[in-house]
Each structure stands twice: as structure tokens, then as C-alpha cells.
Amino acid sequence: MIDLRSDTVTLPTPRMRDAMARAELGDDVFGEDPTVNRLQEMAAERMGKEAALFVASGTMANLVSLLTHCGRGDEAIMGTMAHTFLFEAGGVSALGGIHVRTVPNLPNGMLDPAEVEAAVRDPHNVHYPRSRVVVLENTHNRCGGAVLSPEQMHAVAAVAHAHGLKLHLDGARIFNAAVALGVPASRLAAEADSVSFCLSKGLACPVGSLICGSKEFIAEARRIRKAVGGGMRQAGVLAAAGIVALEEMIDRLAEDHANARLLAEAIAGIPGLAIDPQTVMSNIVIFEVTSPKVTPAQLSARLLELGVKINPIEGRKMRAVTHYGIERRDVEQAIAALRTVMKGVA
């Protein structure tokens, strides 16, 4: 089965499994797990921050970060297509009492700095929640894995900081962005007051994400992590895989990007499907089913019969994601399956 539903389906590498079995352990809630401590130090260094905190998931990373930045009734500004807004169960509002204000995402994942500035509340008006943080996402999931450049990041950060707001970067796939641009991830995170990234997507770990920021921020985030049930004891079993990921799995993301572009270029030539391959910058391929003779759900079901898993998303769109464990020959087989199904409905 060729599984292109998400890069979250990756399985750990043999080196990761070995490292997990051999990990030196301690109680991380007491700060005594040496493997977790090493991973956190590596993560902080990679992001150019003072400290880092290991958490269970990307959703927890964003939740803990925003709970650290905001009090109850405070406001977070983010895009209409932000993962935190759409796909994290409303946790920041349900658990933190944080009011979310959205501004439109541009097709390239960017937020218009003027729109962000217009969304910032007057802090002296008692009718308003207090604006505390702006959230950016890089790469941007629902905008097709779009990559934001350091210059784009700066444009939004400048607005946030000019108004005394913090900037949180949902960098779940920040290493994909870094590889696509050929820059260090730390450059993309440079102006963020906090940044999260996932180990369990393209980096192929079984579990885990990191939050990075100042020592003061991470100290408070550690307390919030405990409050939401995220204190893990001998978590070095999981952190060991993350160490391998940061040492070995970043540069290979370029293979995923090449496979995604191969898939997008082929889809562009299949009647009944539509995509602009030039918009595919990383490992996410979002395409539209334009043929009236088949729905995305029907196409997904027929592809499954041919050994390919690709999920429908909103409207007439479908999303395919390349990742560790998917080789060029797998992409070619997926392309052949797409051609077969669409030829049958032409």
C-alpha cells in the first residue's frame, strides 16, 4: 500500500529503533532524563533559541505556546487557514479561554501585514479582548505546503512587535521550509518569540514535538505542559528517535520535495484533475478534481482498490503528501493509478 495521506504515517528508521532501545533514561518531569535534555539542547540550537521543551504532539506544542503567551480573554491573531484554527479541536479557546481572531491567508500561506495590523485591538478600549500574539505557519499545510521566506516572516514580525505582541511560529514542517529555501531553520525562526516543530512528520519519529524560545518562556511553558497533562516521565525512549532525526533526517527532505513535484507535474497532465505545479514548494500536493463524473471521495475509494491512499479534503480538493518510506517508484505507481481511474471516468 502506497500511503500518501500524510507524512504522519512515517515509521521510525532502524537507527531510531536502535537508539530508542538503548536510550539512557531518567524522570523528565524532574528534568532528569539525559536523552530528553540532549534533544532539547539540540532543538534550541537548531532554532537559535535559548531553550526548548519536548512535548507529545504538534497540537500540544501550539496549545502550550499560546497558553504561555496569553491569559484568559486575551486574543491570538492567526490565518483563516491556520492549523491551530482549523484542526486542533479549538483547544486554545476550550482550555485556555483565548479568543481567536482570523485574517485571510493569501494563497501562498502569507498573512497581509496590513490586515494583521488592522486586526490588532486598541489596548485602551475596555470593549475589546487584548491582542497578545500573532501566529504564523511555515510551511503552511492547507496552502499546499507553501513556504514563507525570512523576508515574509519579518514583515509580519515587525507589525506584531511594533504593537507589543509576540510572534508564535507553528513550524511543524519548518525543516521542509528550510530545505526548500536552502537556509538554516534558525533564520526562519529568528524573529519568532516561540517556535514549535514536529518530529513525527517528515522527520519520521514515532511521537513528539519541540517548543523553542527564551529560558523564561520555556520555564513557564514547562509549567503549562504539566497543567495540560503533558508531563512524561522516562520520555527519553521517544526523545532518542528525535536526536537521530535531527542528526540524519533533515537533508533527505529534499527527496520528498522532488517526489512531490514529480507527482504534481504528472497530475497537471491528467484530464479531469487540476494543479499548478509551480505552487508545490515542499512535500504537500493539493489538487482539484474538476471532472463532474467523479467526486474526490469516489476517486479516493477507487485509488484504494489500486493500492494508493490519498484523502479528499474540502470541496473538490484532495491532498497527497510525500515522506520517508515513499520512493520515486511509489510515486510513479500512484501516478499510474490516478491515470487509470481518471481514464475510466473520462
pLDDT of residue 143: 96
**259 pLDDT higher than 80:** yes
pLDDT tier at 346, thresholds 50, 70, 90:
low
Mean pLDDT, to the nearest integer, of 15-33?
A: 97
Residue 116 pLDDT: 98
pLDDT at position 344: 86
Give the model's confidence band at 275: pLDDT under 50 very low, under 70 low, under 90 confident, else very high: very high
Q: What percent of the chain has pLDDT over 90?
A: 99
**pLDDT mean over 129-138:** 98
- Would you say residue 310 has pLDDT above 90? yes
> Is residue 22 predicted with pLDDT exceeding 70?
yes
Residue 137 Cα to chain centre, angstroms:
7
Q: How confident is the model at residue 11 (pLDDT cuts 50, 70, 90)?
A: very high
Distance of CA 10 to the CA centre of its chain: 15
The per-residue pLDDT for range 195-252, each reduced to its tens digit, is 999 999 999 999 999 999 999 999 999 999 999 999 999 999 999 999 999 999 999 9
Mind listing the domains of the chain with CATH numbers? 10-248 (3.40.640.10), 252-345 (3.90.1150.10)
Closest CA to 28 of 324, 318, 315, 226: 226
Q: What percent of the chain has pLDDT over 70?
A: 100
The stretch 164-174 carries a mean pLDDT of: 98
Q: How confident is the model at residue 177 (pLDDT cuts 50, 70, 90)?
A: very high
Structure confidence at residue 323 as a pLDDT band (50, 70, 90): very high
Evaluated on CA atoms 288, 57, 200, 111, the torsion sign reads positive
What is the residue-averaged pLDDT of the chain? 97
pLDDT category, 345, cuts 50, 70, 90? confident
